[in-house]
Structure 1
């Protein structure tokens, strides 16, 4: 194999392939990137057993061929080279890398478990990358870290009534993002649970200017955008029926400035030991929201001005659970719907600027002794 390629272009593609390289494994093939030069294209493939990535770029192929190389080594070498033409040659299991005055000779590896990453000929879902990124960032934090509740460690993708729903919950809160979307009728009522790590890695790969096509193939979900394809396994479990959980039975509505509330909640956590529950007490009275935080170190009282309709409410929360939901909203003000100290608080963005998108966040209260 013999190719010529620009350093910056190759470095960018290697960084993508690295997303599917395991750094904690004794399995050699999970530490490698597979290079295949054919026609005028270089294809890079990698897999860590959970996700597999295939990405490609145009290069000058002088001699076709293929090789496997340690991902960390090739990444470090290419990243440190100047932005010039890189010449890579494979001969007798030795890889020669030249760029300006640099001349590396490193060992090639055998790559026995080459996986064909092909996109199936089935109906697919297409979504703008900026919407996909925004939806994942608004939900992924609410997934569970409890591996005994495997279904809840992923994000539910649900196609229903003309919407793509993203759902995450961990037993203490629920994050639901809905996007109005055109999709093939054959896909209606489809539900897939995508591992959080997999979809998070995908959002770090894609750019905002293009779209992602999503395919289902047996037990794999395939994401494709531009020159990059990612395979990952879905979580084959039943997901909780979240619709009853987020039913809104509120009798009190509060409108509050989002940034002012975020700042107050962050200050309320300063005196709490991070190893314990960050308990805060909230009192909604007339046009003010009173926030109290107490610990063995001291106490804090905050006041944030609000617009309120309905009864006064006194309620307590884990501050982190409430704060993350408020941060996930993308508007200047938010709407908080409540009923009592025993019922959840449901948060909505107020006057969202993103047409065809809806976000709902539910946080369960902490029950306090009288």
Structure 2
């Protein structure tokens, strides 16, 4: 095999694949990327048996062939090379030679025979707007659980219905739901799957510039694809909580606030919050909100900001991290916060926009 690449094209592909190969793999082949040239095109691929990615790379083929090579080592070498054409070839004994400028490097590879195959999208896949899919993932993935004992929460819930597409994440204390209707064709019946966090994060990276993305389901796998890339992931086997039932519809206390003007006080005041609970307190009285925190060992702090509301009096506390995460992932100048009382879940969403909703459970108020 003998190939020639522009540095930028090869480097970009390797960077995407390294997100899959950075885990602790028991099989040496899973730490490698596959480089394959045939039928007039060059493909590179990587997998950890949970997530797999295959990419087409621009380049010139002098001689077809295939080999696997350490993702980490080829990535380190290519990153340090000058901005000149890179010539890559196999030179016997499963060695890969890299030539660039006056530099010559040889890496020990492995035959491609044992590299796991990555399936392709076939049949009648769904198509979704790429920008909308990336946005929905970014608006929700922060709320997913990282507690492995609750494995069914370690991913995003894709709820595809004839009416809308929803992506949902929760860790049991907070919830984020993003909704859109750009999926085509509409499914005849609802389809619900849990996609691992690692996979959805790689979707955002792999299809960062894709205008449209195809989605296909195969047994216990989900595939995402465009003209140049395919990502396949195992699905999480579990039953997702009935999240619709925990979204309240009787939170009658509504407060409108500028998002950035609330994030700042929360960030600053939380510096003096209890380091174990991260609790910050919101005191609402008429058209003002006081954000405060205090810890006997550290001190106390508070800030006041104007809010748009009717006559309202409420005292409530939240984990500052949860509150800041929700506000940071809502794409709006103003948000509406919907409260019931100091013990019930609070809803935060953009003003006059139901396409994104965050829910946070409050904490016990310190007296």
With the shorter chain as reference, the TM-score category is over 0.9
Runs of 4+ displaced beyond 6 Å: none
Cα distance in 2 for partners of 1:368, 1:9 equals: 54
Deviations 1:135-172 (A, max 9, x none): 11111111111111111111100012421101111111
Q: What corresponds to 2:361 in structure 1?
A: 364
Residues 54 and 230 in structure 1, CA contact (< 8 A), matched pair in contact too: yes
| Secondary structure of the corresponding residue to residue 237 of structure 1 | coil
* TM-aligned CA deviation for residue 368 of structure 1: 3.3
The gaps in structure 2 that reach 5 residues or longer are none
Secondary structure of 2:201's aligned partner: helix
Single out whichever of 112-121 and 245-254 deviates more from structure 2: 112-121
Q: Which residue of 1 aligns with 2:31?
A: 31
Residue of structure 1 in register with 2:61 after alignment: 61
Contact 1:120 1:217 in 2 (8 A): no
1:20 aligns to 2:17 (yes or no)? no
Alpha-carbon offset, residue 221 of structure 1: 0.8
**Cα distance, 1:298–1:159 mapped onto 2, change above 3 Å:** same
How far did 1:337 drift? 0.8
1:329 corresponds to? 330
2:287–2:310 contact (8 Å) kept in structure 1: no
Aligned counterpart, 1:50: 50
Find the aligned partners of 2:166 and 2:160 in 1 and give their Cα distance: 6
CA displacement at 1:365 relative to structure 2: 1.0
Task: Give the deviation of 1:112 after TM superposition.
Answer: 3.5
Q: 1:251 to 1:58 in 2, by over 3 A?
A: closer
Who is 1:74 aligned against? 74
Alignment-derived partner of residue 214 in structure 2: 213
1:184 is the counterpart of 2:185: yes
- Greater CA deviation, 309-318 or 58-67? 309-318
The 2-side partners of 1:17 and 1:341 are apart by 46
CA offset digits 1:2-57 (Å, max 9, x no partner): 12222221111111222221343342011101111113311111111211111112
Q: Measure the CA separation in 2 of the matches of 1:119 and 1:105.
A: 32
Deviation at 1:77, TM superposition (A): 1.6
Distance 1:273 1:109 in 2: 52
In 2, distance between residues paired with 1:308 and 1:188? 41
SS in structure 2 at match of 1:92: coil
SS of 1:131's equivalent? helix
What is the count of residue pairs matched by the alignment? 365
> Shift of residue 209 of structure 1?
4.8
Query: TM-score of the superposition, structure 2-length normalised?
Result: 0.94
For the residue of structure 2 that corresponds to 1:240, the secondary structure is coil
> Distance in 2 between the 1:230 and 1:58 partners?
18
**Do the aligned residues in 1 keep the contact of 2:98 with 2:106 (CA within 8 Å)?**
yes
Residues in 1 aligned to 2:47 and 2:122: alpha-carbon distance in whole angstroms: 23
Alignment check: 8 A CA contact 1:271 1:293 kept: yes
Q: Aligned partners of 1:147, 1:26: CA distance in 2, in Å? A: 20
Q: Which whole-Å CA distance do the structure 1 matches of 2:301 and 2:106 have between them?
A: 62
Deviations 1:317-355 (A, max 9, x none): 112111211111111111011111111111111145xxx
- Map 1:140-289 to 2 at 5 A: 140-186=141-187, 188-274=189-275, 276-289=276-289
Distance 1:108 1:251, change over 3 A: closer
Q: How far apart are residue 287 of structure 1 and its match?
A: 0.4
Shift in Å, 1:102: 1.1
Give, in whole Å, the separation in 2 of the partners of 1:209 and 1:195. 21
| Residues 85, 32 of structure 1: alpha-carbon distance in 2 compared, 3 angstrom cutoff | same
- Please, which runs of 5 or more residues in structure 1 have no aligned partner? none
Task: Specify whether residues 310 and 241 from structure 1 end up closer, same or farther in structure 2 by C-alpha distance, changes over 3 A only.
Answer: farther
Provide the C-alpha distance between the structure 2 equivalents of 1:266 and 1:85, rounded to a whole number of angstroms: 47
Q: SS where residue 167 of structure 2 aligns?
A: strand
Using the alignment, how far apart are the partners of 2:180 and 2:186 within structure 1? 16
Is the Cα contact below 8 Å between 1:252 and 1:310 reproduced in 2?
A: no
User: Residues 101, 145 of structure 1: CA spacing in aligned structure 2 closer, same or farther, 3 A cutoff?
Assistant: same
